[in-house]
Amino acid sequence: MNIIIITGPPYSGKGTQCDELVKDHDLVHISTGDHIRNEKENQTELGKIMSDYDEKGELVPDEIMKKLLDKLIEENKHASGIILDGYPRTIPQVEDLVKVLSERELSINSIISIEVPRDELLIRAKKRAETSTREDDKNPETHYKRIRVFEELTKPTIEYMKKKFQVKTFDGMGAIEEITERIKASM
Protein backbone atom coordinates (compact mmCIF):
# COMPACT_ATOMS: atom_id res chain seq x y z
CA MET A 1 0.00 0.00 0.00
CA ASN A 2 1.27 3.47 -0.91
CA ILE A 3 1.08 6.04 1.87
CA ILE A 4 1.17 9.65 0.68
CA ILE A 5 1.01 12.68 2.96
CA ILE A 6 -0.13 16.07 1.71
CA THR A 7 0.59 18.91 4.08
CA GLY A 8 0.51 22.68 4.18
CA PRO A 9 -1.32 25.52 5.85
CA PRO A 10 -5.09 25.76 6.09
CA TYR A 11 -6.59 27.16 2.88
CA SER A 12 -3.56 26.10 0.82
CA GLY A 13 -5.59 23.75 -1.38
CA LYS A 14 -4.58 20.41 0.18
CA GLY A 15 -8.07 18.93 -0.15
CA THR A 16 -8.46 20.16 -3.72
CA GLN A 17 -5.13 18.61 -4.71
CA CYS A 18 -6.06 15.34 -2.97
CA ASP A 19 -9.29 15.22 -4.97
CA GLU A 20 -7.31 15.70 -8.19
CA LEU A 21 -4.73 13.03 -7.30
CA VAL A 22 -7.43 10.51 -6.39
CA LYS A 23 -8.92 10.89 -9.91
CA ASP A 24 -5.74 9.62 -11.59
CA HIS A 25 -4.31 7.28 -8.97
CA ASP A 26 -5.87 4.40 -7.09
CA LEU A 27 -5.88 6.19 -3.72
CA VAL A 28 -8.26 6.58 -0.81
CA HIS A 29 -8.41 10.22 0.33
CA ILE A 30 -8.37 10.45 4.11
CA SER A 31 -9.04 13.98 5.32
CA THR A 32 -8.67 13.96 9.07
CA GLY A 33 -10.77 17.13 9.27
CA ASP A 34 -13.63 15.47 7.39
CA HIS A 35 -13.41 12.41 9.60
CA ILE A 36 -13.38 14.54 12.75
CA ARG A 37 -16.56 16.27 11.55
CA ASN A 38 -18.09 12.87 10.69
CA GLU A 39 -17.26 11.49 14.14
CA LYS A 40 -18.83 14.60 15.69
CA GLU A 41 -22.00 14.38 13.56
CA ASN A 42 -22.43 10.71 14.42
CA GLN A 43 -21.79 11.52 18.08
CA THR A 44 -19.26 8.72 18.44
CA GLU A 45 -17.11 8.51 21.54
CA LEU A 46 -14.20 10.05 19.62
CA GLY A 47 -16.48 12.65 18.06
CA LYS A 48 -17.70 13.91 21.42
CA ILE A 49 -14.13 14.35 22.63
CA MET A 50 -13.05 16.09 19.41
CA SER A 51 -15.92 18.59 19.23
CA ASP A 52 -14.54 21.20 21.58
CA TYR A 53 -11.11 21.30 19.95
CA ASP A 54 -12.30 21.48 16.35
CA GLU A 55 -14.87 24.22 16.93
CA LYS A 56 -12.22 26.43 18.57
CA GLY A 57 -9.82 25.90 15.65
CA GLU A 58 -7.46 23.98 17.92
CA LEU A 59 -5.74 20.73 17.12
CA VAL A 60 -7.25 17.56 18.51
CA PRO A 61 -4.74 16.03 20.98
CA ASP A 62 -2.21 13.62 19.46
CA GLU A 63 -3.36 10.53 21.36
CA ILE A 64 -6.93 10.97 20.12
CA MET A 65 -5.71 11.53 16.57
CA LYS A 66 -3.62 8.35 16.79
CA LYS A 67 -6.78 6.38 17.65
CA LEU A 68 -8.63 7.94 14.71
CA LEU A 69 -5.72 7.29 12.33
CA ASP A 70 -5.44 3.67 13.44
CA LYS A 71 -9.18 3.21 12.85
CA LEU A 72 -9.02 4.83 9.38
CA ILE A 73 -6.04 2.79 8.22
CA GLU A 74 -7.70 -0.40 9.45
CA GLU A 75 -10.91 0.47 7.59
CA ASN A 76 -8.91 1.01 4.38
CA LYS A 77 -6.38 -1.82 4.77
CA HIS A 78 -7.31 -3.33 1.39
CA ALA A 79 -6.77 -0.10 -0.56
CA SER A 80 -3.77 0.10 -2.86
CA GLY A 81 -2.94 3.54 -1.50
CA ILE A 82 -3.94 6.21 0.98
CA ILE A 83 -3.40 9.94 0.76
CA LEU A 84 -3.45 11.58 4.19
CA ASP A 85 -4.77 15.13 4.03
CA GLY A 86 -3.91 17.30 7.02
CA TYR A 87 -2.13 14.65 9.06
CA PRO A 88 0.37 14.63 10.72
CA ARG A 89 0.28 18.13 12.17
CA THR A 90 2.66 17.74 15.10
CA ILE A 91 5.99 15.97 15.61
CA PRO A 92 4.44 13.37 17.97
CA GLN A 93 1.85 12.67 15.24
CA VAL A 94 4.68 11.93 12.78
CA GLU A 95 6.12 9.45 15.26
CA ASP A 96 2.65 7.95 15.89
CA LEU A 97 2.09 7.59 12.15
CA VAL A 98 5.42 5.83 11.64
CA LYS A 99 4.56 3.48 14.53
CA VAL A 100 1.03 2.72 13.26
CA LEU A 101 2.37 2.08 9.75
CA SER A 102 5.30 -0.08 10.89
CA GLU A 103 2.90 -2.26 12.90
CA ARG A 104 1.27 -3.02 9.53
CA GLU A 105 4.62 -3.32 7.73
CA LEU A 106 3.91 -0.10 5.84
CA SER A 107 5.90 3.11 5.45
CA ILE A 108 5.48 6.62 4.08
CA ASN A 109 6.07 6.64 0.32
CA SER A 110 5.74 10.34 -0.46
CA ILE A 111 5.28 13.66 1.32
CA ILE A 112 3.93 16.67 -0.57
CA SER A 113 4.09 20.09 1.04
CA ILE A 114 2.12 23.00 -0.45
CA GLU A 115 3.33 26.49 0.43
CA VAL A 116 1.17 29.62 0.23
CA PRO A 117 1.93 33.08 1.69
CA ARG A 118 -0.04 34.08 4.80
CA ASP A 119 -1.78 37.03 3.09
CA GLU A 120 -3.10 34.72 0.38
CA LEU A 121 -4.30 32.21 2.99
CA LEU A 122 -6.42 34.93 4.60
CA ILE A 123 -7.89 35.91 1.22
CA ARG A 124 -8.76 32.26 0.53
CA ALA A 125 -10.25 31.87 4.03
CA LYS A 126 -12.53 34.84 3.41
CA LYS A 127 -13.66 33.43 0.05
CA ARG A 128 -14.35 30.05 1.63
CA ALA A 129 -16.38 31.73 4.39
CA GLU A 130 -18.65 33.24 1.73
CA THR A 131 -19.56 29.85 0.23
CA SER A 132 -19.12 27.36 3.05
CA THR A 133 -22.00 25.79 4.92
CA ARG A 134 -19.74 25.00 7.87
CA GLU A 135 -20.16 27.35 10.82
CA ASP A 136 -16.48 27.11 11.77
CA ASP A 137 -15.55 28.45 8.31
CA LYS A 138 -17.60 31.61 8.84
CA ASN A 139 -15.72 32.84 11.93
CA PRO A 140 -12.75 35.12 11.05
CA GLU A 141 -11.14 34.48 14.44
CA THR A 142 -11.08 30.77 13.66
CA HIS A 143 -9.23 31.52 10.39
CA TYR A 144 -6.51 33.42 12.21
CA LYS A 145 -6.27 30.76 14.89
CA ARG A 146 -5.96 27.93 12.33
CA ILE A 147 -3.15 29.77 10.55
CA ARG A 148 -1.40 30.57 13.85
CA VAL A 149 -1.65 26.92 14.98
CA PHE A 150 -0.17 25.87 11.63
CA GLU A 151 2.72 28.32 12.02
CA GLU A 152 3.42 27.28 15.61
CA LEU A 153 2.98 23.49 15.38
CA THR A 154 2.71 22.17 11.85
CA LYS A 155 5.36 24.27 10.13
CA PRO A 156 8.05 22.94 12.52
CA THR A 157 6.62 19.45 11.93
CA ILE A 158 7.19 19.84 8.19
CA GLU A 159 10.79 20.88 8.89
CA TYR A 160 11.15 17.81 11.12
CA MET A 161 9.81 15.56 8.34
CA LYS A 162 12.29 17.11 5.89
CA LYS A 163 15.11 15.82 8.09
CA LYS A 164 13.71 12.25 8.17
CA PHE A 165 12.00 11.84 4.78
CA GLN A 166 12.08 13.26 1.30
CA VAL A 167 9.53 16.08 1.24
CA LYS A 168 8.55 17.55 -2.12
CA THR A 169 7.62 21.22 -1.78
CA PHE A 170 5.25 22.94 -4.21
CA ASP A 171 4.22 26.56 -4.67
CA GLY A 172 0.47 26.68 -3.99
CA MET A 173 -0.04 29.88 -5.96
CA GLY A 174 -1.53 29.80 -9.43
CA ALA A 175 -4.23 27.87 -11.21
CA ILE A 176 -5.36 24.64 -9.57
CA GLU A 177 -4.59 22.70 -12.75
CA GLU A 178 -1.01 24.02 -12.89
CA ILE A 179 -0.34 23.05 -9.29
CA THR A 180 -1.87 19.61 -9.90
CA GLU A 181 0.34 19.06 -12.96
CA ARG A 182 3.49 19.99 -11.01
CA ILE A 183 2.56 17.55 -8.24
CA LYS A 184 1.61 14.73 -10.65
CA ALA A 185 4.89 15.18 -12.56
CA SER A 186 6.79 14.51 -9.33
CA MET A 187 4.98 11.25 -8.53
Confidence of residue 52 (pLDDT cuts 50, 70, 90): confident
Please check if 63 is assigned to a binding site: no
pTM of the model: 0.89
Q: What percent of the chain has pLDDT over 90?
A: 66
Q: 64 is in which domain, residue-wise?
A: 2-186
Is 89 among the annotated ligand-binding positions? yes
CATH code for the domain of 102: 3.40.50.300
Number of independent structural domains in the chain: 1
Chain mean position to CA 70: 15
Report whether 176 contacts 13 (CB < 8 A): yes
For residues 49 and 66, what is the distance between their CA atoms, to the nearest angstrom? Answer: 13
Over its C-alpha atoms, the chain yields an Rg (Å, rounded) of 16
Q: Does the annotation list 58 as a binding residue?
A: yes
41 is in an annotated binding site: no
How do residues 138-170 score in pLDDT, each as one tens digit? 888 888 999 999 999 999 999 999 999 999 999
- Residues 117-143 have pLDDT tens digits of 999 999 999 998 998 888 778 888 888
Strand 81-85 versus strand 28-31 pairing type: parallel
Residue 128 marked ligand-binding? yes
Q: Is 10 annotated as a binding residue?
A: no
Is 93 assigned to a binding site?
Answer: yes
153 is in an annotated binding site: no
32 labeled part of a ligand binding site: yes
Q: Find out whether 117 is annotated in a ligand binding site.
A: no
Phi, psi of 106 (to 5 degrees): -120, 165
